[in-house]
Structure 1
């Protein structure tokens, strides 16, 4: 159905902390938490959609997922490690009660989250080829991360447009296969 995307990357810069910074990048949140980090071990379920439905639209469900990019700096070496995560915001995603009867619709919404993971992997791949430092991080962000994020937004919008928000079952099936194949191609950059 309808898809909301954060229009800007979430950059968490914590260089003011002493020595080495670390953010846990592999913990998947449970149903009670506000975010779920994409994982092969966990698919979305309707209980993850915590927000109240929008009364102004006929949409059955809205998935709010994005890509978080979090640089971690080592002040002593000047090196930056970038943690990239696809996240689903439970408190911004919603589904109408009637929509929750549809596994088909849940799959459509899951695919939005899968697209976020696909582009998180593409960002990880591009960054793996770079030597990132405190001095060059802003340039790398502008040259690599931001263009891939814009590509992600476009790809996700194209998905909804071509599937008619999941109503075109034949096209939805083709997109399911396309997304699965691309995730498989990028398996090396899985951050599970």
Structure 2
């Protein structure tokens, strides 16, 4: 039986509570912070202390600190990857009414918000609402204290059951991240031509009308896309990533159809393929965790997109859109090497 007698100090009653009678063993979480989200300095209510006298009820050294001490001693974790939890106290209220001159009836209400505490903003997990109704002799303050103790024990048991049931499938509780880069072949159609080593570009892929305002012989629209939707499996975030390299026939056109010009446009397509391969390598070498993986994956993609645009500008600028045949031949060799995984020459161009 756990109890700490209520102490009356000039119309104030201070309650305390001890460690949970049956502490939670081998917990997968640790409550490291408690915040009191109620009004600053707010008591937990008023209770009868004698006859018709009602006194202000308070908790130990304050709700936040006293609860933190309670959680710390009531949860025993052996798990090295335990989740750091923040608890926000949204309601902690006790109300009593007098049944007779010697008996009081009371109601305790609790509402706690549980959050994962990480390097960034806390992530909301769940809310707990609970409480108890009771009757006690007015001179038995210890009974009110036991009610508070039991309600707190119930809240901790509930959260422990909840987090154990959610640990393997809740994204906020995931302990690791695995990126899976999928190299899928996509079937081309009249609207989109996907890059395929076995299927080089054809002039029939350029279906738009030539722009009268342009002095160029041909124009190709190429681009890079990345898709992925994370899911949780066995406590780990799985992030499948699909990288697409494509050109749009409806936005690509040609005037004079010759092999030399077709090669120049093919090399624009090759640039995107090379950038996609470099992006794949970068993604495979990322050091990711549940807190940073989205930002790092997005950064890698946007870096690749910027690199693609820079290379396209350098390619057209140095070859004068294919007019400088010797420079065009240099780019042909450089891109052939890069398509085989040797980026030395390409990186030299990027660093110039």
**Alpha-carbon separation, structure 2, partners of 1:134 and 1:37:** 32
| Stretch of structure 1 that moved more, 86-95 or 163-172 | 86-95
1:50 corresponds, among 184, 188, 207, to 207
**Alpha-carbon separation, structure 2, partners of 1:185 and 1:89:** 26
Deviation at 1:186, TM superposition (A): 5.9
Mind listing any 5+ residue stretches in structure 2 that lack a counterpart?
1-181, 344-352
Corresponding residue of 1:116: 272
**Alpha-carbon separation, structure 2, partners of 1:176 and 1:124:** 22
Greater radius of gyration (CA)? 2
Corresponding residue of 2:239: 80
Corresponding residue of 1:105: 261
Corresponding residue of 1:59: 216
1:32-59 deviation per Cα after TM superposition (whole angstroms, max 9, x unaligned): x211111110000000001121111121
Any conservation in 2 of the 1:122–1:186 contact (CA below 8 Å)? Answer: no
SS in 2 for 1:139: helix
TM-score, length basis structure 1:
0.76
Any conservation in 2 of the 1:64–1:88 contact (CA below 8 Å)? Answer: yes
* Greater strand share, structure number: 2
TM-score, length basis structure 2:
0.43
1:122-147 deviation per Cα after TM superposition (whole angstroms, max 9, x unaligned): 11111112366775443123431111
Q: Larger RCO: Structure 1 or Structure 2 (Cα < 8 Å, ≥ 6 residues apart)?
A: 1
Deviation at 1:73, TM superposition (A): 2.3
**Alpha-carbon separation, structure 1, partners of 2:301 and 2:186:** 23
Matched, 1:182 2:341: no
Any conservation in 1 of the 2:188–2:194 contact (CA below 8 Å)? Answer: yes
SS in 2 for 1:147: helix
SS in 2 for 1:185: coil
**Alpha-carbon separation, structure 2, partners of 1:175 and 1:28:** 28
**Alpha-carbon separation, structure 2, partners of 1:28 and 1:137:** 30
SS in 2 for 1:47: helix
**Alpha-carbon separation, structure 2, partners of 1:82 and 1:106:** 31
Any conservation in 1 of the 2:283–2:297 contact (CA below 8 Å)? Answer: no
Deviation at 1:24, TM superposition (A): 8.9
1:37 corresponds, among 184, 191, 194, to 194
**Alpha-carbon separation, structure 2, partners of 1:34 and 1:132:** 36
* Greater helix share, structure number: 1
Corresponding residue of 1:168: 324
What is the Cα-based RMSD across aligned positions, in Å? 2.2
Matched, 1:152 2:311: no
Any conservation in 2 of the 1:53–1:94 contact (CA below 8 Å)? Answer: yes
**Alpha-carbon separation, structure 2, partners of 1:93 and 1:69:** 22
**Alpha-carbon separation, structure 1, partners of 2:304 and 2:259:** 30
**Alpha-carbon separation, structure 2, partners of 1:50 and 1:94:** 6
When residues 82 and 171 of structure 1 are mapped into structure 2, their CA distance, relative to the original with a 3 A threshold, is same
Any conservation in 1 of the 2:206–2:253 contact (CA below 8 Å)? Answer: yes
